Structure 1
Amino acid sequence: MRNPESDKTLVLIPARLASTRLPGKPLADIGGAPMIVQVARRAKEADIGRVLVAVDDQSVFDAVRSAGFDVVMTRVDHQSGSDRIHEALLSADPDGRFDYIINVQGDLPTIEPETILASFRPMQEPSVDIATLAVDIHDEDDKKNPNIVKVIGSPLSAERLRALYFTRATAPYGEGPLYHHIGLYTYRRRALERFVALGPSVLELRERLEQLRALEAGMRIDVEIVDSVPLGVDTPADLDKARAILASRSL
């Protein structure tokens, strides 16, 4: 189903060239195209709004432009993807045409278009400031892994939570599901502008989780439950997996 707000929706894909574990990550070849181009293709397949890539290097800019996608240059020194997409938004849309901003990480080349669409669904509720995604955790080791962020939320339906907290700890306590947070966000424009103006919060710095800034400021984050975690490419092994996944889809 096409997004009825597509004319007011901008999908922003931040891409930072520097990467300790996988140098030159946005330009890594996957199926004959740079990874950042594959992410842009997935976003275009979602047919949810205009797609714009925000980069910090001329070589990445040129690769995206040559593939036919819109791209904007941003500063190298941004501390987070949200800061980068905000700069890109102001550059590309100074007049405020777009009301909804979807932040798709630039290292998700195999993400399903349906997953991108799912991140927009909570925006049907006018009081939601930010929407994001989560997956039910089944692996016991994952429940204890501090690198897997958990979202604690109050159930609104079988497919949605209202976020109360995000943590690296194993939480909440007791019987019941635990949810793995997926860092893909849809913002109302005014929420993104407020968010980047706030600056880091106490709990954000303690947990090293940027989304806590919004909760501490009283902003509402709703979470759509999806079926699987998209593969984030951070290492050479992840890159091999992504290549295999896209190769299997083209068969």
Structure 2
Amino acid sequence: MSFTVLIPARLASTRLPNKPLADLGGLPMVVRVAQQARKSRAERVVVAADDASIVEACRAHQVDVVLTRTDHATGSDRLAEACEQLGLDGGDVVVNVQGDEPLIEPALIDACAEVLGRCIGCVMSTAAHAIDNIAEFTSTNVVKVVCDASSRALYFSRAPLPWWRDGYRDGVSALSTPAPLRHIGIYGYHAGFLRRFPTLSQSPLENVESLEQLRVLWHGERIAVHVTDIRPGPGVDTPEDLAKVRAHYESLRA
């Protein structure tokens, strides 16, 4: 199916200033992400930048880019503006690949687009994989998703869900069956909904959990979930993450 990858790139970062321009094996991170996304079946890969320096870096490496406003509250708001600039609307499918995921699997991008196309009534799609260790399950930094019988999201939470009533009575010492699901931060949208998203009021649950996707469920819309066996490559949130990913690219040069 035909779809466009949009990569939001914001220059400001609390833990990693100028993160989109961080050097990874001789190329800016945002360029690495775009190059990886090009390995998917996307018809087009476009960076949605908030600063002229990101635009310059992208153009220097033949990466499509649009310059968006600096005052967007969320990445989805930035992508909505990018959709307007690119003339995307209605049933056009957009996949949001995060700008700090240079090692994302191209097949995961394709799957996120395909599951949205198959799931009638869903305005968004995302992905998840089974959790296989207790530390991930209990971490508030790991977002969990619970799905219905048709693999549509019922809820996302930083809490350990689902809660095994009998098995977790004395604490979490083993995981339930079937395994809990870890949410992967990749999203597919129908462009018409993505352009409408900024007009939706924030939900109380979104504010409590700090999870933007809960706004979608709060307003009665559905999110399709692709459950994969593929764990995503490491993202870059901290200086330690950056060092690990840099080491990966240096190993490819060796």
TM-score by length of 2: 0.89
1:21-61 Cα offsets, whole Å, 9 max, x none, are 11110000101100000000011111222111011111111
Aligned residue among 209, 212, 215 for 1:207: 209
8 Å contact 1:14–1:104 — kept in the other structure? yes
The equivalent of 2:152 in structure 1 is: 162
8 Å contact 1:100–1:187 — kept in the other structure? yes
Q: Which moved more, 1:223-232 or 1:99-108?
A: 223-232
Aligned residue among 165, 172, 178 for 2:162: 172
The equivalent of 1:238 in structure 2 is: 241
- Cα distance between partner residues in 1 of 2:192 and 2:50: 24
The equivalent of 2:225 in structure 1 is: 223
8 Å contact 2:8–2:97 — kept in the other structure? yes
- Cα distance between partner residues in 2 of 1:228 and 1:249: 20
Cα RMSD between the aligned structures? Answer: 1.6
Q: 1:153 to 1:186 in 2, by over 3 A?
A: same
- Cα distance between partner residues in 2 of 1:11 and 1:147: 26
Aligned residue among 200, 203, 218 for 1:198: 200
The equivalent of 1:121 in structure 2 is: 114
- Cα distance between partner residues in 1 of 2:216 and 2:202: 10
1:136-183 Cα offsets, whole Å, 9 max, x none, are 111101111111110011243xxxx21000001111112321111111
Q: 1:121 to 1:47 in 2, by over 3 A?
A: closer
TM-score by length of 1: 0.90
Q: Does 1:32 align with 2:35?
A: no
The equivalent of 2:70 in structure 1 is: 76
Q: 1:97 to 1:171 in 2, by over 3 A?
A: closer
**Aligned residue type for 2:93:** Y
**Aligned residue type for 1:204:** E
Give secondary structure in 2 for the equivalent of 1:185. strand
Any gaps of 5 or more consecutive residues in structure 2?
165-175
- Structure 1 moving runs of 4+ over 6 Å: none
Q: Following TM superposition, by how much is the alpha carbon of 1:98 offset from its aligned partner in structure 2, in angstroms? A: 6.9
Aligned residues: 240
Q: Does 1:142 align with 2:144?
A: no
Alignment of 1:103-118 (within 5 A): 103-118=96-111
Any gaps of 5 or more consecutive residues in structure 1?
none
1:184-206 Cα offsets, whole Å, 9 max, x none, are 10001222123221021111111
**Aligned residue type for 1:237:** E
Q: Following TM superposition, by how much is the alpha carbon of 1:218 offset from its aligned partner in structure 2, in angstroms? A: 1.0
Aligned residue among 76, 94, 107 for 1:101: 94
8 Å contact 2:236–2:245 — kept in the other structure? yes
Alignment of 1:48-67 (within 5 A): 48-67=42-61
